[in-house]
A and B are shown apart, each in its own frame.
Chain A
Amino acid sequence: MILLRIALPAVVLAAATFTPPALSPAVAQDAARGAAIAAERNCASCHGAAGVSELANIPSLAGQPAEFITLQMILFREGLRQAAPMNELSQGLEDQAVEDLAAHYASLRAVAPPDLAPRDAALAERGRALSTALNCGVCHLPDYSGRNQIPRIAGQREDFLRHTLAQYRDSQRRGTDTNMNAVMYGVSDDAIAALAHHLAHQPARPE
Chain B
Amino acid sequence: MVRTRFAAAGMLAALLLAPAVQAQQAPAAAPAPAWASGREGSGMAPNLAPHAPRLTVTPRDQLPLSSIRLPQGFTAEIYAHGIPGARMMAEGPNGTIFAGSRTIGRVYAITRNADGTTRTRTLLQGLTQPNGLAVLDGNLYVVAINRVLRFDNIEQNLDNPGSGTDLTAAFDLPTEEHHGWKFVTTGPDGRLYMNVGVPCNICDFDRDRFALLVSFRPDGSDRRIEARGIRNSVGMALHPQTRELWATNNGRDWAGNDLPNDTLHRIRRSGEDHGFPYCVGDWADPGAPAQRNCSEFEQPAAMLGPHTAALGMRFYTGTMFPEAYRNQIFIARRGSWNREQLSGFDVVVAKLDGEGRVTAVEPFLQGLRDDANQRFLGRPVDVHVLGDGSLLVAEEQYGAIYRITYRQ
Contact = CB atoms under 8 A, between A and B. Distances in A.
B15 A22 contact: no
Contacts of A129: 11, 15
A167 to B, nearest CB: 16
B239 to A, nearest CB: 34
Nearest to B62: A25
B360 interface: no
A80 B33 contact: no
A178 B33 contact: yes
A187 B33 CA distance: 13
B104 A78 contact: yes
Interface in A151-207: 176-179, 182-191
Interface string A131-160: 001110011000000001100000000000
A43 B368 CA distance: 39
B62 to A, nearest CB: 4
A23 interface: yes
A71 B55 contact: yes
Contacts of A80: 103-105, 126
A16 B47 contact: yes
Contact of A79 (B33, B126, B340, B376): B126
A182 B31 contact: yes
A134 B31 CA distance: 11
Contact of B104 (A74, A133, A182, A185): A74
Contact of B62 (A14, A27, A70, A134): A27
A122 interface: no
Nearest to B373: A19
Contacts of B15: 126, 129-130, 133, 191
B103 A185 contact: no
A20 to B, nearest CB: 8
Given A71-B52, A74-B56, A126-B15, A19 B47 contact: no
B51 A21 contact: yes
Contact of B50 (A8, A130, A177): A177
Interface in B42-94: 43, 45-59, 62-64, 84
Given A78-B125, A80-B126, A15 B340 contact: yes
Q: Which of B31, B49, B59 has the most C-beta atoms of chain A within 10 angstroms of its own C-beta?
A: B49
Given A22-B52, A187-B30, A12 B397 contact: no
A30 interface: no
A139 B11 contact: no
A149 B398 contact: no
26 contacts: A12-B46, A12-B47, A18-B374, A21-B375, A22-B376, A25-B59, A25-B63, A71-B53, A74-B84, A78-B105, A80-B104, A80-B126, A96-B57, A129-B15, A148-B52, A149-B53, A176-B52, A178-B34, A178-B178, A179-B36, A182-B31, A182-B34, A183-B30, A186-B17, A189-B18, A191-B17
User: Which A-B residue pairs are the 8 nearest by beta carbons?
Assistant: A188-B18, A182-B33, A25-B62, A149-B52, A15-B45, A95-B56, A74-B55, A133-B12
